Chain A
């Protein structure tokens, strides 16, 4: 089974055998697959092993001023919270962001790899790659590894010549263009807040507040999401981090504790009355 490992190359290989040139430009490098009695079972096990790890909440949406991207920062292994400070918004290049959901290593590696490919495209073609092109490059690589246990649920958000762009790409090989996405175990809760509060004509402040609130609500209800709610904005001049608030503090920001009368005070008042 030939795998598209062009993502692992950073420069074209210079293998030129006698008859190599007459055929393809250069055969893509391939590696052996593991010998196991039950290959399908092995694959299923590998996929199941990483499946629960999409414990996260990430969201992104396009609005009048650009793209807003937000995510939590909790990493969990089953019931154990392994980290509260994971960077889930990956900076591919100064004008494109990717979000991480699924296997952390997979997301980080392939986003970095995508960054390399985008830069090479810029150098070769003297123009930036479009969000469409970048997301397609990633989707093609992930598709060629389909069924091999990669776990990636990412959104590619950026600003190019045609304006703001947002694509959802996953390790099943799917790629969707859209204006509102949320990915992860906390996404149903985030969608609820995002969809009911969304308007295309929002200002940057309104949009960032909506994104932050959506992440907060998801972390409140989903055990696998938490930590810090980061919000990034992608505009015509590139991306900018707008805020990073601890969701515990956000809880009291949205639900302030009103100093009500204590029991002792009530008894004093009753006695006085």
Chain B
């Protein structure tokens, strides 16, 4: 086995890990993904590049299950994502086997982040080029969580976050408009955030909702279109209200 005597991820003189930063660039070029945590559910939304005519769109699901109660969406290199997701799925089952209990969202996030970090400190490998949004319900307390990891291996919990293309604009929108929501309201908030940077339409967005009792549910295109239509109507009404002269009460 050949020994590499020079690691690929080394520090620069001013303390940067360039490979990790380039990996973050790769993430910034990936599809936009947004996650919003509600009181009783968590919603994930991902931008979908318009499917080629001959492609079977069902084979390119971007929001995947890690376990019955945990789901993941990511932005960046999709091939890297496949590897990471497979390792995470095995770890979820391994946890169930060794302690006879499902793992918490924090546990699997820590595992994925640890894995991403390991690849920034080894010889001959490059970091994973993706940031993930991990959602789920804690099996003990039943509370919903949303976590984000990035190629450097850091992770933290969020009320709402975005990653991928134009994530800054989405995050700004979320910061301005976030409030504690539940049920359909959370779904609407997530879609509204995603619509800031994506062309509107059910075929450009993939949305999934996770609830404690029903696990992950992918929304049908028709459903998404209906919600988008609602949002457009609300937006139009708001515009009209602004333009119309204020009524005397």
Per the bound structure, the CA–CA distance linking A16 and B119 in Å amounts to 11
Within 8 A of B (CB), among A186-228: none
Q: Which residues of chain B are within 8 angstroms of A132 by Cβ–Cβ distance?
A: 99-101
CB of B111 to closest CB in A, whole Å: 10
Check B100 against A133 for contact (C-beta < 8 Å).
Answer: yes
Per the bound structure, the CA–CA distance linking A17 and B125 in Å amounts to 11
Check A133 against B3 for contact (C-beta < 8 Å).
Answer: no
Check A18 against B3 for contact (C-beta < 8 Å).
Answer: yes
Check A21 against B104 for contact (C-beta < 8 Å).
Answer: no
Per the bound structure, the CA–CA distance linking A20 and B4 in Å amounts to 12
Check A136 against B3 for contact (C-beta < 8 Å).
Answer: no
Check B99 against A18 for contact (C-beta < 8 Å).
Answer: no
Cβ-defined partner of A18 (8 Å) among B1, B106, B118 = B1
Check A136 against B99 for contact (C-beta < 8 Å).
Answer: yes
CB of B42 to closest CB in A, whole Å: 20
Check A21 against B1 for contact (C-beta < 8 Å).
Answer: no
Q: Number of residues in A with C-beta < 8 Å to the partner?
A: 20
Check B124 against A136 for contact (C-beta < 8 Å).
Answer: no
Check A133 against B1 for contact (C-beta < 8 Å).
Answer: no
CB of B197 to closest CB in A, whole Å: 35
CB of B214 to closest CB in A, whole Å: 24
Per the bound structure, the CA–CA distance linking A136 and B1 in Å amounts to 37
CB of A142 to closest CB in B, whole Å: 14
Q: Which residues of chain B are within 8 angstroms of A18 by Cβ–Cβ distance?
A: 1-4, 123-124
Bitwise interface map of B from 214 to 240 toward A, beta carbon under 8 Å scored 1, else 0: 000000000000000000000000000
Cβ-defined partner of A130 (8 Å) among B1, B4, B101, B119 = B101
Within 8 A of A (CB), among B68-124: 98-101, 104, 106-107, 110, 118-119, 121-124
Cβ-defined partner of A16 (8 Å) among B2, B98, B123 = B123
Check A129 against B99 for contact (C-beta < 8 Å).
Answer: yes
Q: Does B11 contact A (CB under 8 A)?
A: no
Per the bound structure, the CA–CA distance linking A25 and B107 in Å amounts to 16
Q: Number of residues in B with C-beta < 8 Å to the partner?
A: 20
Q: Which residues of chain A are within 8 angstroms of B106 by Cβ–Cβ distance?
A: 125-126
Bitwise interface map of A from 43 to 64 toward B, beta carbon under 8 Å scored 1, else 0: 0000000000000000000000
Per the bound structure, the CA–CA distance linking A126 and B105 in Å amounts to 13
Nearest to B121 among chain A residues (CB) is: A16
Q: Does A176 contact B (CB under 8 A)?
A: no
Q: Which residues of chain B are within 8 angstroms of A124 by Cβ–Cβ distance?
A: 110
Q: Which residues of chain B are within 8 angstroms of A130 by Cβ–Cβ distance?
A: 99-101
Check B98 against A125 for contact (C-beta < 8 Å).
Answer: no
Q: Does A137 contact B (CB under 8 A)?
A: yes
Nearest to B118 among chain A residues (CB) is: A21
Q: Does A84 contact B (CB under 8 A)?
A: no
Within 8 A of B (CB), among A15-36: 16-22, 25
CB of A159 to closest CB in B, whole Å: 16
With A21-B118, A21-B119: A137-B101 Cβ-Cβ less than 8 Å = no
Check A125 against B122 for contact (C-beta < 8 Å).
Answer: no
Q: Which residues of chain A are within 8 angstroms of B101 by Cβ–Cβ distance?
A: 130, 132-133
Q: Which residues of chain A are within 8 angstroms of B140 by Cβ–Cβ distance?
A: 127, 161
Check B125 against A136 for contact (C-beta < 8 Å).
Answer: no
Per the bound structure, the CA–CA distance linking A64 and B3 in Å amounts to 62
Q: Does A140 contact B (CB under 8 A)?
A: yes
Per the bound structure, the CA–CA distance linking A25 and B101 in Å amounts to 22
Q: Which residues of chain A are within 8 angstroms of B2 by Cβ–Cβ distance?
A: 18
Per the bound structure, the CA–CA distance linking A18 and B4 in Å amounts to 6
Q: Which residues of chain B are within 8 angstroms of A22 by Cβ–Cβ distance?
A: 125
Per the bound structure, the CA–CA distance linking A136 and B95 in Å amounts to 11
Q: Which residues of chain A are within 8 angstroms of B119 by Cβ–Cβ distance?
A: 21
CB of B23 to closest CB in A, whole Å: 16
CB of B179 to closest CB in A, whole Å: 28
Cβ-defined partner of B3 (8 Å) among A17, A21, A25, A125 = A17
CB of A140 to closest CB in B, whole Å: 6
Bitwise interface map of B from 110 to 147 toward A, beta carbon under 8 Å scored 1, else 0: 10000000110111110000000000000010000000
A→B interface (CB under 8 Å): 16-22, 25, 124-127, 129-130, 132-133, 136-137, 140, 161
28 sampled A-B residue pairs with Cβ under 8 A = A16-B118, A16-B121, A17-B3, A18-B1, A18-B2, A18-B3, A18-B4, A18-B123, A18-B124, A19-B124, A21-B118, A21-B119, A21-B122, A21-B125, A25-B118, A124-B110, A125-B106, A125-B107, A127-B140, A130-B99, A130-B101, A132-B100, A132-B101, A133-B98, A133-B101, A137-B98, A140-B98, A161-B140
In the complex, given contacts A16-B121, A16-B123, A17-B3, what are 7 additional A-B residue pairs having Cβ atoms less than 8 angstroms apart? A19-B1, A21-B118, A21-B122, A21-B125, A125-B106, A129-B99, A132-B100
